[in-house]
Structure formats: structure tokens, C-alpha cells
Amino acid sequence: MSLMTVKDLTIGYDQTALVKNLNFCVGEGNYLCIVGENGTGKSTLMKTLLGLIKPISGDIIRGDGLKVNEIGYLPQQTDVQRDFPASVTEVVMSGFAGGAKLRPFYSRAERERARENMERMGIAELRRRCYRELSGGQQQRVLLARALCATSRLLLLDEPVSGLDPKVTEDMYKLIADLNHEGTAIIMISHDVNEALNYATHVLHMGHSVFYGTKAEYMKEENGFMAKGGVINA
């Protein structure tokens, strides 16, 4: 069943379109990798899917009862965010904020779920540590645990391995793949096409023109597609 369907979507800022007439869908258990050069609208698309930016036109249809505040999100980190002075537990628990309805406290069930997610991400022993004292890889695991507190159905990940060393990058990709194998649908922006294709079920390539299809379809088209600088007849 489709969790998210995009129909004839045009995105951009101040009515200036970056990408026109996007069409794709993400079903339960899918792993969609969004690839393409800088400036092609990948992060803008993700923010539009999250409802942070209004589309210029077109529709984003959430299926199977999925609500916008039930989508987990791991954004690109800024230097200010990396220096956030809070404990690991506080950062992870903030993932429940979207559904907290201004409650001044978290429930016992939420605290238990946060603990389970920290264990799942291998950071339970860091729960009392200050977030800004952690390594880049540890911080990304904390943010992934935070995203899982919002939902385990659909995660949107914007360059989750950016700035990480090769070993930590490999571990992060495997961690995300494990979540996908357990049933979580993934939408991930990546500059590393080759690595992304190891795990993707579907690919959305954004450039001068747009390609969307299964990994097998993308691999079939890839040589001609990449040779033309990301141009494919859509």
C-alpha cells in the first residue's frame, strides 16, 4: 500500500519553480534514493514532502492513515545544531514533540520507546552524555533514534552520512538498511549514487530532466542517463 503519492508536483520558492511535474510514490517497505547534482531541488522536495514548504502546484497524498507528524525526519546538520547543549536522552525524546499537543511531560510509554530506540541505534550507554560532545557518527545515530520516536513507518533522511568517515558511513548505511528490512519505508537524499544503489528499491534522479523507477530500471538506463549528464526523456 502506498504511504505517499506525489502527483504533478511543482516545487520551488516564491513561485519560482525548481522542478516541475514530479510523479512518484513510496510504498510500505520501499527504499527510495533521491540523487542528482547540487541545486536540483532535492532538499526542497524533502521539505515540501514534510509540509515545511508549500508546493507551487500538484498534490502530495498520504495513504494508509499516515499523518504529516508521523513522518520521521533526519535533516542535514548545521554547525549550530551540532553544538546543541542537551543530553542524548533529551534530543531523542524531542522526537515526540510533534504529537505531544503541548503536554509538559512525556508518558511512560514514550520514555520506554525512546529507550528502545536508543538501544536499537547502539547509543544507550550515551544517554546521559551531552549531544555536542559526541562524534559525528554518534550524533547521527542520536538523530535517527529521534526520528524513530516520531514514527517507524516512514523516514526522510537528508544526506545522513554527510561528513562522516568511510567506516562510520558504511555502518550508517547498514543501520538504515536494517530499519528498512524491518518494514520502515525510507526516502533518502544521497550524493553517493553507487553506495545508495546497494540498498535502494527505487531511484528518483533529479537533474535537467527527471527519472523515477525501480533500481533495476535505473541500472538499465544508467549508462546513457549518466553519460548525458542526468538527462533522460521523461
80 pLDDT band (50/70/90 cuts)?
Answer: low
Domain boundary pick from 150, 171, 201: 150
Residues 121-133 have a mean pLDDT of 94
Question: What is the rounded CA–CA span in Å between residue 145 and residue 122?
Answer: 10
CB-CB contact of 128 with 89 (8 Å): yes
Domain count, the chain: 2
CB-CB contact of 61 with 232 (8 Å): no
The overall average pLDDT reported for the chain is: 86
98 pLDDT band (50/70/90 cuts)?
Answer: low
**Phi (first) and psi of residue 83, to 5 degrees:** -100, 20
Half-sphere exposure of 230 (CA within 13 A, CB side): 15
CA distances from 177 to 66, 91, 109, 167 (A): 21, 23, 26, 15
Strand partners, 213: 203
8 pLDDT band (50/70/90 cuts)?
Answer: very high
Half-sphere exposure of 202 (CA within 13 A, CB side): 19
By mean pLDDT, which of 106-115, 167-176, 213-222 is the weakest? 213-222
Look at residue 233 in the predicted model and tell me its pLDDT. 35
Examine the domain organization and report whether 203 and 160 are in the same domain.
yes
Residues 11-39 have a mean pLDDT of 92
Examine the domain organization and report whether 172 and 64 are in the same domain.
yes
Per-residue cell: 190? 544521497
CA distances from 196 to 96, 187, 234 (A): 29, 11, 22
Above pLDDT 90, what percent of the chain? 57
Amino acid identity, residue 120?
Answer: R
Beta strands in 63-219 (DSSP E): 72-74, 154-158, 185-189, 202-206, 210-214
Examine the domain organization and report whether 168 and 184 are in the same domain.
yes
Name the residue range of residue 88's domain. Answer: 77-150
Please give the model's pTM, rounded to 2 decimal places: 0.87
Question: What is the rounded CA–CA span in Å between residue 81 and residue 61?
Answer: 31
Look at residue 64 in the predicted model and tell me its pLDDT. 86
- Per residue in 139-191, pLDDT tens? 999 999 999 998 889 999 999 988 888 888 899 999 999 999 999 999 999 88
Question: What is the rounded CA–CA span in Å between residue 31 and residue 181?
Answer: 9
Per-residue cell: 124? 544507550
Q: Which residue has the higher pLDDT, 125 or 101?
A: 125
224 pLDDT band (50/70/90 cuts)?
Answer: very low
Examine the domain organization and report whether 120 and 231 are in the same domain.
no
